[in-house]
Amino acid sequence: MLMKVMLVDDEPFILQGLSVIIDWEKEGFEIVKKASDGEEALAYLRENEVDLIITDIRMPKINGIELLETVRNEKISGAYVFILSGYNDFKYAQAAIRYSAMEYILKPVQKEQLLEDIRRVAAKKENMIQEEMDSRRMQRGYLLQNMTALLQGKGREQNTYVKENFRCGLGIRYLHICLNDLLALEEMSDEEVSELKDTVYGEVSQYLREDADHLFKDFFVYEEDYEIGFIYCDYMAKERHLTEEEFMRALQKTAQGGSEKLPVILLAGKRVEDITKVSHSYSSACVLRSFKGFQDTKNVYYYEKEIQVNPSGTVLCKQSLDDLVGAVNENDILQINRSVDALFLEMDRLNRNRETVTMNLSWLIFRLLDLAAEQDESVNQDEVLSYISGSVSREEIIRGSRAHLRKFACEYAEYLVQLRKNVSRGVLTEIENEIREHYAENMTLRELGAKYYINSSYLGQIFRKRYGQSFKNYLNSYRIKEAASQLIRTDKKISQIAEDVGYRDLDYFISRFIEQEGCTPSRYRKSARAEE
pLDDT exceeds cutoff 50 at 310: no
| Domain 3-109 and domain 427-531 have a common topology | no
- Confidence band, pLDDT 50/70/90 cuts, at residue 184: confident
Q: Given this model, what pLDDT does residue 349 score?
A: 80
**Angle in degrees, CA 139, 145, 147, rounded to 5:** 100
Greater model confidence, 186 or 447: 447
Average pLDDT, the chain: 81
pLDDT exceeds cutoff 70 at 250: yes
pLDDT exceeds cutoff 90 at 96: no
What is the CATH T-level fold of the domain 167-306, as seen in this structure? Alpha-Beta Plaits (3.30.70)
User: What are the DSSP calls for 69-85, one per residue?
Assistant: HHHHHTT----EEEEEE
Per DSSP (E only), the strands in 15-122 are 29-35, 52-56, 80-85, 103-106
Q: Given this model, what pLDDT does residue 243 score?
A: 94
pLDDT exceeds cutoff 60 at 125: yes
Q: Once rounded to an integer, what is the mean pLDDT over residues 335-354?
A: 83
502 backbone φψ class: left, alpha, beta (φ>0; ψ -120 to 50): left
Instruction: Give this prediction's pTM.
Output: 0.52
pLDDT exceeds cutoff 80 at 439: yes
- Confidence band, pLDDT 50/70/90 cuts, at residue 433: confident
Which option is the CATH number for 3-109: 3.20.20.150, 1.10.3720.10, 3.10.129.10, 3.40.50.2300? 3.40.50.2300
Highest mean pLDDT (candidates 69-78, 175-184, 340-349, 398-407): 69-78
Of the listed ranges 116-120, 465-469, 512-516, the one predicted with least confidence: 465-469
Q: Once rounded to an integer, what is the mean pLDDT over residues 453-465?
A: 72
In 3D space, the residue among 473, 509, 479, 517 whose CA is nearest the CA of residue 493 turns out to be: 509
- C-alpha dist (Å) from residue 303 to 91, 170, 269, 270, 284: 73, 18, 5, 5, 7
Q: Given this model, what pLDDT does residue 425 score?
A: 54
Q: Domain limits of the chain?
A: 3-109, 167-306, 318-364+381-408, 427-531
CA 390 to CA 384: how far, in whole Å? 10
Each residue's pLDDT tens digit, 352-389: 776 777 777 777 877 787 777 666 655 555 566 666 66
**Quick check: helix, strand or coil at residue 180?**
coil
Q: Could you tell me which CATH number the domain at 427-531 has?
A: 1.10.10.60
CA 29 to CA 3: how far, in whole Å? 5
